[in-house]
Structure 1
């Protein structure tokens, strides 16, 4: 099934890093003819970026709302697309979750970095919470959009997409998104599964070594089987099985092969694997050289 983004939200705290979400949002909105919302949530417990704040529930909030809207309207690039400013007050992750329901959002774009120090940590934790809780995919960005956007036409330039697979429902849904985006932009699709290495590989007997190689081959065949026959008409997925720490191998693979996007499921099999995959997704998001699209299960969408 083709994926189509119709309602897209960019979250920003007006820092240099967070404002990087906006070029991504503009490019995606133009490519999919989507409605773009640019959102700033004012956390009243951390409003120092607005100067002195004295609790006048009506007057002060209106002043902050006006200032935030003015900042949004001055943001470069938004003149090239239809967009709507959204200013909310409250907990950032909670307010964005409410917006997902109100606006029927298909995609939220958030940065893994914000203002320096504490605010940077706060924004990072907001993005992690969004990834774990939102019913729609989250595109986590930290790098400038130059490699993602064609500098001449302003369109999206996706040539290589990496999909991490652990055979969970979320991972298989991530593959659906990866294949759809690859078809949309005629990109390569790389499918990667990372297996835990033997505890003492140097002590494996010849028979155990053979069994280990057969296991790797079986996992690779299973990866290949996930790709629908119709997808092979327009692409040749590259299935790879590696050994090691999942997040390290995913990031290293993305760096070595110059991936333009990584697509990951949010949750894995069962409670323990869910926690492990969540940790993997968080670590990849923080270290990835390219945007990471975090996708939940189909039932959550």
Structure 2
């Protein structure tokens, strides 16, 4: 399904896991291609100092900045070349990309440039106060990318546990979910994998409305020749993601597929961005299909 794959890396442990996911997607059928992107960020000041020390001239200070920038750039390029070599040894057709600037913006721009079908990237599970205020790189990419995004934050042990598991499709029957349904069904067919369809609802009317909608969706997907199971789990307002993560753990899912809305309300900010939270806590890769991707 995905033939033009963009893997964005910062060479962190989560990015290393994301590299394996990207490689698995890029292997196999001819015609697939993988772009490996790293973004060089400008250094405003040496990392070991927060202010210009006394007795250091402006020229010396600028020289320190340039020296550290060169060293970090050389280190990143060395990591990038090693990743490229590893992927080529796996038989993957790969091209390296290096861009400068804000990582989130450059990842989106690179995806547009290469007309990527999907972006694969690591998602850090520890969310700082700056992520809350400014928004994380992953969150920005999910909201603005022209294609689906696979966010990876699981461990090697979790990856092995879900290697042969089903695909978990999460739906709230919204327009964004409709696109996610199409993507999940295509992946399940391609990988000959069971599909579990999960809806997380509140009490009362939410449950009563979800039951017939889920039954109809399961029947429709089975009509496409897929092995499908439907599940409904209860969640609390602002705590939708825990039942999703728990189901993925219990069923040893190999991937979660879900929709995401690109426009957030104040309630999303206060209560938590579901797709972002799932991507940071899931035991497997999370494929997020926004309401403006997969046109």
Q: Is TM-score (shorter-chain normalized) higher than 0.5?
A: yes
> Which whole-Å deviations, capped at 9, do the CAs of 1:1-48 have from their partners, x for residues lacking one?
xxx212111111122222222111111111354211111101114796
1:71 corresponds to 2:79: yes
Give the equivalent residue in structure 1 for 2:202: 196
Give the equivalent residue in structure 1 for 2:117: 106
TM-aligned CA deviation for residue 172 of structure 1: 1.2
Give the equivalent residue in structure 2 for 1:204: none
Give the conservation status (yes or no) of the 8 Å contact 1:160–1:261. yes
Give the equivalent residue in structure 1 for 2:23: 26
Unaligned runs of 5+ in 1: 151-155, 199-211
Q: Secondary structure at the match of 1:108?
A: strand
1:179-258 correspondence runs (5 A): 179-197=185-203, 216=207, 218-227=209-218, 229=220, 231-245=222-236, 246-258=240-252
Give the conservation status (yes or no) of the 8 Å contact 1:170–1:268. no
TM-aligned CA deviation for residue 276 of structure 1: 8.5
2:101 to 90, 96, 102: 90
Give the TM-score, by structure 2 length.
Answer: 0.78
TM-aligned CA deviation for residue 77 of structure 1: 2.7
Give the conservation status (yes or no) of the 8 Å contact 1:5–1:32. no
| Separation of aligned partners in 1, 2:138 and 2:263 | 23
Deviates more, 1:259-268 or 1:21-30: 259-268
Give the conservation status (yes or no) of the 8 Å contact 2:4–2:117. yes
Give the equivalent residue in structure 1 for 2:57: none
Change over 3 Å in CA distance of 1:243–1:141 after alignment to 2: same
Give the equivalent residue in structure 1 for 2:52: none
* CA-based RMSD: 3.9
Give the equivalent residue in structure 2 for 1:12: 9
Give the conservation status (yes or no) of the 8 Å contact 1:11–1:108. yes
2:136 to 108, 120, 125: 125
1:167 corresponds to 2:173: yes
- Give the count of matched residue pairs: 278
1:284 corresponds to 2:275: no
Change over 3 Å in CA distance of 1:291–1:267 after alignment to 2: same
